[in-house]
């Protein structure tokens, strides 16, 4: 199978084969990072624009570095210093970037569907770097890549996602990717943040955190998305931490080889104790490292790359 997509907008519309192709391409690109000269010329002459209208550390920097490693020219758009502040619309902003011959526009926006909207009128490739509470596809691709590299498979694994599911785009993209790849997904957190409607996607929902961690091969922790919550969803952060935070006592109830994941940014002492975030079972920084290879793969594939077989050449 060859890659066919010009945009990467979500995980929901991808097949398991396409997700696996991104993983395989990322594995091929990861080797580039260990070379003395960490560059390959596959995007030479292409222009990549990071159009981030919401804050980001990991996603923006790793897309920038990924584009540089592929020898593209990269522009970082700063929303705060842009004409969006003067009332220019997102559509006009994007069309102006395309008028400057942008080949790939990577967008993060608080509005669900913003990347899909741009993809309807731009000729440039559009990559979703997070749209509201909807999806964050490259995060799910790097998370599932990390699981596959560590565990050697995904099908049949028990993955528990613990925290604010309702407002999390990471949760939605991970659920789609994990289910397509054959994992069993358990969601846990306060009932206000983990509504049973997620069972319709094919997940197990439980409010018993001990049960949620007991048979997990992976525990993926999510922070409370205060920026998207319109009202208090639980009494206090202290209560949340004591009931749902991953601490030494709760981790003792999990399998000895469980992997601890977190997309970042971490709120230490809330969803995860500091010592657990830094313990040997945590792969949180490995996720960041893998994100670079995954984003190189995505940039390569939406630019016309056919798959991992083209990387070695
Ligand atoms: N995981 C993630 O999206 O982090 P940033 O918000 O820092 O990009």
Position 201 scores a pLDDT of 95
Would 6 be classed as within a structural domain? no
Q: Are residues 143 and 236 in the same domain?
A: yes
Q: 289: CA distance to ligand 1 center in Å?
A: 13
- Measured CA to CA, the distance from residue 156 to residue 181 in angstroms comes to 9
Rounded CA-CA distance 208/253 in Å is 13
Residue nearest ligand 1's atom 3 by CA: 59
User: What mean pLDDT, rounded, does the chain reach?
Assistant: 95
- Considering the domain architecture, whether residues 53 and 147 belong to the same structural domain is answered as no
Closest-lying ligand 1 atom to the alpha carbon of residue 129: 3
pLDDT of 127 over the 80 cut? yes
Asked if 210 and 253 count as a contact pair (C-beta separation under 8 A), the reply is yes
Task: Report the separation in Å between the CA atom of 57 and the middle of ligand 1, taken as the mean of its atom positions.
Answer: 6
Atom of ligand 1 nearest to the CA of 55: 6
Q: Are residues 60 and 130 in the same domain?
A: yes
Q: Is the pLDDT of residue 159 over 90?
A: yes
CA–centroid distance, residue 265 to ligand 1 (Å):
6
Above pLDDT 70, what percent of the chain? 97
**Distance in angstroms (rounded) separating the CA atoms of residues 8 and 26:** 15
Gap from CA of 1 to ligand 1 centroid (Å): 31
The answer to whether residue 313 scores a pLDDT higher than 60 is: no
Residues 162 and 219: beta-carbon distance below 8 Å: yes
Mean pLDDT value across residues 171-191: 98
In short, whether 291's Cβ falls inside 6 Å of ligand 1 is no
Does residue 11 form part of some domain?
A: no
State if pTM tops 0.75: yes
Pocket flag, ligand 1, residue 307 (CB < 6 Å): no
Tokens of 88: 């220019």
128 and 167 share one domain:
no
For residues 220 and 241, membership in a common domain is answered with yes
Residue 138 predicted with pLDDT over 70: yes
The C-alpha angle with vertex 126 and arms to 78 and 20, in degrees rounded to 5, equals 120
Greater confidence (225 vs 198) lies with 198
- What is the predicted pLDDT for the residue at 121? 97
State how far the Cα of 206 lies from the Cα of 214, in Å rounded to an integer: 12
Check whether residue 141 and residue 282 sit in a common domain. Answer: yes
Whose CA is closest to atom 6 on ligand 1? Answer: 56
Which atom of ligand 1 lies nearest, measured to the CA of 59?
8
pLDDT on residue 251: 98
* Cβ proximity of 53 and 108 under 8 Å: yes
Asked whether residue 219 falls in the same domain as residue 161, the answer is: yes
Pocket test for ligand 1, best of 169, 265, 286 (most atoms within 8 A of CB): 265
pLDDT in tens, 14-27: 999 999 999 999 99
The predicted structure's pLDDT at residue 231: 66
| Cα 58 to ligand 1 centroid, rounded to whole Å | 5
pLDDT of residue 12 exceeding 80, the answer is yes
Average pLDDT over every residue of 77-85:
91
Taking the CA of residue 130 as reference, the ligand 1 atom at the shortest distance is 3
307 or 64: which leads in pLDDT:
64
Residue 5 domain flag: no
| Across 34-38, 44-48, 177-181, least confident range | 34-38
Q: Which of 64, 264, 287 has most ligand 1 atoms within 8 Å of its beta carbon, as the pocket-test mutant?
A: 264
How many domains is the chain built from?
2
pLDDT at 273 over 70: yes
Residue 150 maps to a domain: yes
What per-residue confidence (pLDDT) applies to 238? Answer: 87
What six digits make up the tokens of 54?
A: 């919401």
Q: What is the mean pLDDT of residues 164-185?
A: 97
Return the CA Rg of the chain.
19
pLDDT at 185 over 70: yes
Q: Tens of pLDDT along 293-307?
A: 999 999 999 999 999
Do 126 and 153 fall within a single domain?
A: no
CB of 33 closer than 6 A to ligand 1?
no
- Do the domain assignments include residue 8? no
- Domain boundaries, position 156: 137-287
Cβ neighbours around 199 below 10 Å, total = 11
Does any ligand 1 atom lie closer than 6 A to the CB of residue 83?
Answer: no
Q: From the CB of 61, is ligand 1 less than 6 Å away?
A: no
**Dist. CA 221 → ligand 1 center (Å):** 14
Question: Residues 62, 78: one domain?
Answer: yes
Would you say the CB of residue 128 lies under 6 angstroms from ligand 1?
Answer: no
What does the alpha-carbon distance between residue 267 and residue 304 come to, in Å, rounded to a whole number?
39
In a domain, 257, yes or no: yes
In a domain, 151, yes or no: yes
Tell me what the mean pLDDT of segment 177-202 comes to.
97
User: Are residues 300 and 261 part of one domain?
Assistant: no
Reduce the secondary structure of 69-121 to three states and give it as a string: HCCCEEEEEEHHHCHHHHCCCHHHHHHHHHHCCCCEEEEEECCCCHHHHHHCC
According to the model, what pLDDT value does residue 34 have? 85
Closest CA to ligand 1's atom 5 = 56
* pLDDT level of residue 311 (50, 70, 90 thresholds): confident
Express as a percent the part of the chain with pLDDT over 90: 89
Quickly list DSSP for 177-210.
Answer: HHHHTT-EEEEES-TTTS-GGGGGGT-EEES-HH
Per-residue pLDDT band at 312 (split at 50, 70, 90): low
CATH number of residue 144's parent domain: 3.40.50.1370
Task: Among 53-62, 227-236, 255-264, 278-287, name the one with the lowest average pLDDT.
Answer: 227-236
Residues 84 and 123 in one domain: yes
Question: Same domain for 64 and 111?
Answer: yes
């Amino acid at each position: 199978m060859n890659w066919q997509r010009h945009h990467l907008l979500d995980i929901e519309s991808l097949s398991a084969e396409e997700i696996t192709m991104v993983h395989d391409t990322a594995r091929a690109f990861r080797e580039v990072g260990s070379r003395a000269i960490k560059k390959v010329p596959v995007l030479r002459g292409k222009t990549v624009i990071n159009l981030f209208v919401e804050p980001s550390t990991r996603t923006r920097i790793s897309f920038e570095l990924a584009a540089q490693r592929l020898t593209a020219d990269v522009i970082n758009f700063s929303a705060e210093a842009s004409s969006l502040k003067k009332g220019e619309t997102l559509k006009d902003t994007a069309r102006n970037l395309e008028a400057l011959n942008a080949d790939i526009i990577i967008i993060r926006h608080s509005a669900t569907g913003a990347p899909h909207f741009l993809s309807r009128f731009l000729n440039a490739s559009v990559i979703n770097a997070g749209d509201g509470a909807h999806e964050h596809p490259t995060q799910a691709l790097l998370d599932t890549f990390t699981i596959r590299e560590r565990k050697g498979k995904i099908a049949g694994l028990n993955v528990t996602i613990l925290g604010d599911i309702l407002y999390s785009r990471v949760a939605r993209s991970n659920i789609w990717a994990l289910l397509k790849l054959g994992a069993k997904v358990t969601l846990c957190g306060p009932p206000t943040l983990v509504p049973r409607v997620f069972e319709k996607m094919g997940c197990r929902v439980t409010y018993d955190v001990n049960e949620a961690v007991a048979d997990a091969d992976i525990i993926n922790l999510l922070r409370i998305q205060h920026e998207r919550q319109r009202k208090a969803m639980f009494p206090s952060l202290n209560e949340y931490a004591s009931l749902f935070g991953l601490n030494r006592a709760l981790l003792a109830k999990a399998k000895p080889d469980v992997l601890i994941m977190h997309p970042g940014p971490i709120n230490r002492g809330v969803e995860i104790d500091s010592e657990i975030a830094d313990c040997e079972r945590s792969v949180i920084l490995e996720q960041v490292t893998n994100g670079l290879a995954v984003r190189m793969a995505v940039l390569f594939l939406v630019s016309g790359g056919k798959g991992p077989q083209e990387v070695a050449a």
